[in-house]
Structures are given as structure tokens and as C-alpha cells.
Amino acid sequence: MTSKTPFTLLLLFSALFYAGAQETSVNPGINKKYLDPDLNVDVWMKRFEVESREVCAAQPAILSACGIKPGMHIADIGAGTGLYTQPFINATGDSGWVYAVDISARFLEHINRRAQSNDTRNVSTVLCPEDHVGLPRESLDLAFICDTYHHFEYPKETMRSILQALKPGGTLIVIDFERIEGVTRKWVLNHMRAGKEVFKQEIIESGLTFVEEVHVKGLKENYCLRFTKSN
């Protein structure tokens, strides 16, 4: 993974890393639409990459909160259409590397095409199973999960794989929707299996240390949490 070959599509399956997960899905079927081989990327781009979406409009502030430096190795977990993948590529520079991780082959094909059109060489797309991010041990300075944690069907196994992939002292940034009865809009309440405190505790139980809630300008429906892996 250290050679800078043009964006290789990595078909990495959990069987390469460990025996099958024992965890039961916490939300069966939530990702079914993303696994559709006929998924229309253009439709999802119109949903994901629009200014009316908070994490799109607040992108500069979110990138600043990530504290990216040239040469870092970053995983965009649940990369989707690549809203954050290209900015990460730009921020890490030629000496860095970005892994665009997703369960959808169609999304990753789109990211590859975009990278090729930009003559980008410091990115790999990683097609992962639903219970493992499929990344090498201690390969990451930063793992980034934006509006995706609530889509983890197997959060314990997935977080275990993220913990393994982070270098000692590495950072995890998690952005997701607030879920507050009487405040949060109905669609989010129905879509989210739990709120911030539950997700925060799950991540702590995976072995990461909570650092802070980052107050990012422009985020109202979403929160941003920072965690670290102990040295």
C-alpha cells in the first residue's frame, strides 16, 4: 500500500483478517439500498452534495476541525459519493494517502473515475464488508466517519477494525445527527437507532478515548466528536 500506484480498487473481505463476526445486526436492512448493484450514483450525489445538507455547507469548518496535515494517512469511512474524499486528498498532499472506504461498489467506481479525471494518485478505494473496514493494522493517522456511524449494522466489529487500523495516538472524528425527542425532526428520529450519548459510549467501549465534542460552525442538526487511540 506504500507504492503510489493509481487508485487501486481493493476488494478486502473480513475473512482475510479474522474469523466471521459474532455480532448480531443492530439495524437489519438499513444499508440494503447501498448494496444495490444498479445503484444510481447521480441520484445520491443530488442528495449528498448539496448546500442544503449541513455537512456539505459546513465542509470548510469540518475540515479545519480535523486538523489535517500534509503526509497524513486518512480513511474516509462511508465515503459515499466522495464529498470529503477529494478535500482529504488535497489536504494530505503527495506525501499523504487517503482510503475511501464503502460497502457500495458503485460509489467507489464513481470516486475512482473522479480521481482519474483529476490525475490523483494518493488514494485507494476500499470495498469493505458490513462488519470490517478492511484496512491494514496501524495504517491511519485519522479515521473520519460522517453521517455514517448510525449505518453501522455491526458497530462493535466495525469499531474493533477501526481501532486496529488506527496508529497509536491516531484520531477518530465522528459526525452524526442529534437525536433529541421534541427537538429533532421526525425523519431523523425514525431513522436513527440511538443518539449521541449511546454512540459515544459504544465508541469508548471499543477502546478509544473520548477527547472532546467539537463545536463546528454551521452544524445544528449534527454533532462532532473527537476520540483518540492511546499510545
Measured distance CA(132)–CA(127) in Å, rounded: 10
pLDDT at res. 14: 39
The pLDDT score that the predictor gives to residue 190 is: 92
Whole-number pLDDT of residue 158: 97
The answer for residues whose C-beta is within 8 angstroms of residue 206's C-beta and 6 or more apart is 156, 159, 160, 162, 163
User: What pLDDT score does 13 carry?
Assistant: 41
Instruction: Note the pLDDT of residue 26.
Output: 94
Question: Sheet harboring 73-77: ordered strands across?
Answer: 9-11, 123-127, 97-102, 73-77, 140-146, 166-177, 222-228, 209-213
Q: What pLDDT, on the 0 to 100 scale, is given for residue 7?
A: 46
DSSP state of 134: -
- Nearest-angstrom CA–CA distance, 177 and 157: 22
Domains of the chain with bracketed CATH: 31-228 (3.40.50.150)
pLDDT tens track of the chain, all 231 residues?
444 444 444 544 433 444 444 789 999 999 999 999 999 999 999 999 998 899 999 999 999 999 999 999 999 999 999 999 999 999 999 999 999 999 999 999 999 999 999 888 899 999 999 999 999 999 999 999 999 999 999 999 999 999 999 999 999 999 999 999 999 999 999 999 999 999 999 999 999 999 999 999 999 999 999 999 998
Q: How far apart are CA 109 and CA 218, in angstroms?
A: 30
Please report the pLDDT score of residue 8 as a whole number. Answer: 46
